[in-house]
Structure 1
């Protein structure tokens, strides 16, 4: 783990997506954070030690999902499928498919496995929030807050768009694993990877942390709200307006208003993933944030842990 010193920074962005605003001053106490996202090798050790079964390995209970289609009460999770042609990017159903038998051991479906794909040192994926939380408890750690993740991801840079500065690919250098080309059908793979990449493939940020941007989204402990809870736009000189160790919204605030009958909370994801592209989801940035239902497991979400002890 890496020690992140206590400090104040400008959180958020007013240059990309509305849910990242407003800019606000935030103070966080010192904490330790994992140098890398949790890998398949590390997660396998946890499962072997505890016998833990992930959410994606358990068939959903139809009583919890009254609108479930017939035949969907089987274990599985969401897997990305590149489209053969340009598609409507407003409909994620054009590239996400629920695959029966997809889980952390079989991230692309039952015909795949981490052994044959040589994924031991890649970030673990297909983990729902409860899975990440269970691993954190087992390891004596916790999941980071949104503010802790963003502060660490910035690597000591104040208000830069990216974790390494204000240019996405300085002098053409690939600084993270994201989608180059037109999403979701034309990945030029200038970074060398179609999907996830091994941890430490790209340069560490200013704090010595790897993969804080791109590769996989990462769970945080904060409940989602469209506007960050308690966010106040204030001049940096007004220390009275600096939020200290902010935490997320209330559970009730995190429900998706587009689906009023669904009462499954959404947590904040940070960091972006290998599916973020310039023409779609430019969220390979420290300020970027995204809501995810806590029962969801996908092929592009992982996590890392923090420790707030001495």
Structure 2
């Protein structure tokens, strides 16, 4: 997968000796109650305020902590689902970048798991319609987050529904406000007794996924307890696009939140402060998005640094 592969999961290397199975095995949810189709599309008001961006950084790209002021906005309570994206495509005839440009990245079984380059392949048949590649469908996945979505695809959907993508600062602010324990960066992923609060990789990546959190692969939206502001799945399940460039002079954009492939022993990016870079014209099986809306009369965008 050449230079794109390194963008798919960040972290440190590990020794491995066995293969894994990934798609589309789905385990019964834990807890067993998820959002229903009648509960989709809701928004919550995120109040304006200040917070410390990049609090408790783990990786160098997270930068130094700094205090940031954020204007109020409205946040969709869940990631955009397959059923929502299907309505957009049906109404507009939109064709995604993966469908036009030869596929998307697929996590795969490998006999050389010690080599991160072997974890991914470009699947010419992978798209939002066929998330598992050739022969796969959306049967049973209507309420799962849509994946294999590029930045342009996410922008097109957001514009159609009258919203936009969040900035990195807006996304991190909302995720930080939602933490169950503001003093524990990992509290969005697990509770004080180890109970699952997000869909991440449980076990030893990439060898064994114990599915202790209820799922292997994506989970339907809203299967876990919402954060303190009422948003679901800000941590885990799928990475989420933001509208913010990753760094000056870099043709990549920031994705946030981690995914079902983040684990304790690799890619500890199931934290509000974690960030990763991704090419805007590419997509993967663990990258989706959610949208925000500006509050009436709120024209300011987030991200004004007011101190450190």
TM-score range, shorter chain: 0.7 to 0.9
Does the 8 A contact of 1:161 with 1:286 survive in 2?
Answer: no
- 2: CA distance, partners of 1:159 / 1:205: 11
Picking from 168, 174, 179, the partner of 1:146 is 168
CA RMSD, 1 decimal: 1.6
Relative to structure 1, is the Cα distance of residues 150 and 160 closer, same or farther in structure 2, using a 3 angstrom cutoff?
Answer: farther
Structure 2: gaps (5+ residues): 1-42, 297-308
Deviation at 1:159, TM superposition (A): 5.2
Distance 1:218 1:276 in 2: 14
Matched, 1:309 2:295: yes
Asked which structure has the greater CA Rg, the reply is: 1
Deviations 1:228-287 (A, max 9, x none): xxxxxxxxxxxxxxxxxxxxx4xxx11xxxxxxxxxx21000000000011110000100
Choose from 139, 142, 145 the match for 1:123.
Answer: 145
- Which whole-Å CA distance do the structure 2 matches of 1:290 and 1:10 have between them? 18
Alignment-derived partner of residue 30 in structure 1: 72
TM-score by length of 1: 0.78
User: 1:98 and 2:122 equivalent?
Assistant: yes
Is the alpha carbon distance of 1:156 and 1:98 closer, same or farther for their aligned partners in structure 2, counting shifts above 3 Å? closer
Give the number of aligned pairs: 253
1:223 to 214, 220, 245: 245
Q: CA deviation at 1:19?
A: 1.1
Instruction: Decide whether the 8 Å contact of 2:106 with 2:285 is kept in 1.
Output: yes
Choose the corresponding residue for 1:269, options 237, 244, 255. Answer: 255
Q: Does 1:135 align with 2:162?
A: no
Structural mapping, 1:45-64, within 5 Å: 45-59=87-101
Equivalent residues of 1:216, 1:301 under 8 A apart: yes
- State the SS of the aligned residue for 1:170: coil
Within a 5 Å distance, the mapping from 1:1-310 to structure 2 comes to: 1-59=43-101, 75-83=102-110, 86-88=113-115, 91=116, 93-115=117-139, 118-155=140-177, 157=179, 160-162=183-185, 164=187, 168-225=190-247, 249=248, 253-254=249-250, 265-310=251-296
Q: How has the CA–CA distance of structure 1 residues 156 and 181 changed in structure 2, closer, same or farther, with 3 Å as cutoff?
A: closer
TM-score, normalization by structure 2: 0.79
1:113/1:141 CA distance change after superposition, 3 Å: same
4+ runs of 1 displaced by more than 4 Å?
A: 156-159
**Superimposed CA distance per residue, residues 128-172 of structure 1 (whole angstroms, 9 cap, x where no aligned partner):** 00000000000110100001000111125585443746x844212
Question: 2 CA distance for matches of 1:221 and 1:288?
Answer: 16
Deviation at 1:76, TM superposition (A): 0.9
State the match for 1:230 in structure 2. none
**Deviation of 1:9 (Å):** 0.4
Q: Which one is further off, 208-217 or 175-184?
A: 175-184
Residues 162-212 of structure 1 show CA distances to partners (whole Å, capped at 9, x for unaligned) of 3746x8442120010000111112111111211000111111001000000
Question: Which residue is 1:67 aligned to?
Answer: none
1:216/1:302 contact within 8 Å kept: yes
Q: Deviations over 1:18-42 (max 9, x none)?
A: 1112000000000001000000000
